[in-house]
Amino acid sequence: MSAFRRSAAVATAVVATFALHMPTTSAQAPALDPALVTRATAADAYAKTRPGTTGIVVFDRQTGAIWQNGNANRLVWAESTEKLEMVASLLLRNESGAITLSASDRDLMHRMLNVSDDDAADALWKRYGGASFARDLGRFGMTASKFRDAQPYWGWMRTTAADLDRLMNAALAQLNPADRAYLVREMRSVGAVQQWGVWGAGPAAQPGNKDGWSPDNPDGSWLDNSVGFVGPNERFTVAITGDTATVKNGDQVGRETATHVASILFQGYFR
């Protein structure tokens, strides 16, 4: 965990949050709402009928209950979901006084979150040092995530649905109220290019998401990943990863799978 100046009370809360978010088989562990478990099981069954491999995680921020499918810890290329970690890291550094975000920085952050602008990510990666973002993975509970190269680059990182969900949950838990509201607002108003994946939960679920996609992975695979939240007060965090390697029209297939998974999970759940 990076050495930002945080109060003992906040640090304790963060540790408790991570403890709740770690997968467990204990009989004492909080149970997800049975109705949502039924939906999650149906979503996983649907995903298994689709080409490729899909990882799914749903975490209840109110109770600490978690549900994940058998591919939740499968490593995939993170693609632009890493931009969410970059933004959360920069906001926390700014809060601690380690850096002072400029108007230019904030414009680049907006472009990354809204339309997943790669040039904006490149600029911030170079400006604030890519290695610093790599060091901050642990701060967000991204214990399995790793960069391909010794000199890390945001576009070449492997992650899991479980890590992405911990990232989303940790960002919501650690940011101060103003920055948390900013992140939520940005993710709930993404551009059309990112209105898929968790977005498929539907308007009543008040979704927010950051998506990642690309065909240019070293193994030639298409990846379509989506991480975000749904519900009043961002009640649930959700991560969906999709690997459609060698699948014809893999990008379209992956996005359809991720969007329909979110729809099965949450369409009609919030009333």
Rounded to whole angstroms, how far apart are CA atoms 219 and 232?
39
Give the model's pLDDT for residue 26. Answer: 44
Residue where the block lists tokens 């999650």: 40
Low-confidence residues in the chain, pLDDT < 70? 1-29, 215-221, 245-250
Give the model's pLDDT for residue 174. Answer: 98
Rounded to whole angstroms, how far apart are CA atoms 223 and 246?
11
Q: Which two tokens stand for residue 189?
A: 């108003």
Domains of the chain are: 30-266 (3.40.710.10)
Give the model's pLDDT for residue 111. Answer: 98
Question: Quick check: pTM over 0.75?
Answer: yes
Give the model's pLDDT for residue 271. Answer: 82
Percent of the chain with pLDDT over 70: 85
Give the model's pLDDT for residue 250. Answer: 62
Rounded to whole angstroms, how far apart are CA atoms 229 and 199?
9
